[in-house]
Every structure is written in structure tokens, then in C-alpha cells.
Amino acid sequence: MSGISRITPVLTVEAIEPCLPFWVDRLGFEKTTEVPHGDRLGFVILTRDGTEVMLQTRATVAADIPALADTPTKGTILFIEVASADAIEAALAGIEHVIPRRKTFYGADEIVVREPAGNIVIFAEFAKT
């Protein structure tokens, strides 16, 4: 068995366009790939600092893999390690936190928000050792 070289989350969303300000404008991701679906976006790849996240609409999932069309999606939780929780908090000013910023038992300074498609995103800064 060969090694795993990368894991990229694919967030299934109703519409991509409402999610882009969160990822691109606030967090500085760049849209590197986009695939239209009708008159809207159906799929995008967003990258920043070697990190990647993909957004795909439920309609394109149904068109591409019909067997997944009726799979209930409860949402995803992304855990993203960051260099500065303060910088993330500034970038997300005005975005409602799911829980107040906290220090965890495992040593992280965490900010937990819900992105526009309803997925939970946890940004965690660990103390430099």
C-alpha cells in the first residue's frame, strides 16, 4: 500500500456563490478551479498556503453520482490549524461564533464558526514550542 499524500475536504453545498465571500474575501483562499453547472457554479477548488478545500453543489453530486443524491448530509466539521487565531478572528469580524473563543485541554486557542453553507469550521492555534 502506498502512502497517503493528501486529504482534501469536499463540502457539499446548496449554492457556491454565497460561500465565496467567507472563503475568498475573509480567509484569503484563491479560487483555482471552477466548473459551471447551468448558469451557476457547480464546483470550485479553493487554495491557500498549500491547503485546499473543494465546494460542490448537491445538484452536481446528483448529476455525477446519482447513488449519492439521496444521501442525507448532516454537514462537515473542518479542523484547520492556523498560525494566528487573532488574525482569523479579525478576518471573521461579524461572523457569529458557534461557541465563544476558547482554550482547549489539548492546548489550542480555538475559534469555531459556521460557514455560509452550514458546515462548522474550527480554527486552532497551537502554542509555539
For 93-121, what is each residue's pLDDT tens digit?
Answer: 999 899 899 999 888 999 999 899 888 89
Q: Can you identify the CATH homologous superfamily of domain 10-126?
A: 2,3-Dihydroxybiphenyl 1,2-Dioxygenase, domain 1 (3.10.180.10)
b/e sequence 17-27, b meaning 16+ C-beta within 10 Å? eebbebbeebb
Q: Does the pLDDT at position 44 exceed 60? A: yes
Domain residues of the chain, as ranges? 10-126
What pLDDT score does 6 carry? 76
What pLDDT score does 66 carry? 77
Q: Does the pLDDT at position 89 exceed 90? A: yes
Terminal alpha carbon distance of the chain: 34
Q: Is 83 left (phi over 0), alpha (psi -120 to 50) or beta?
A: alpha
**pTM, full prediction:** 0.81
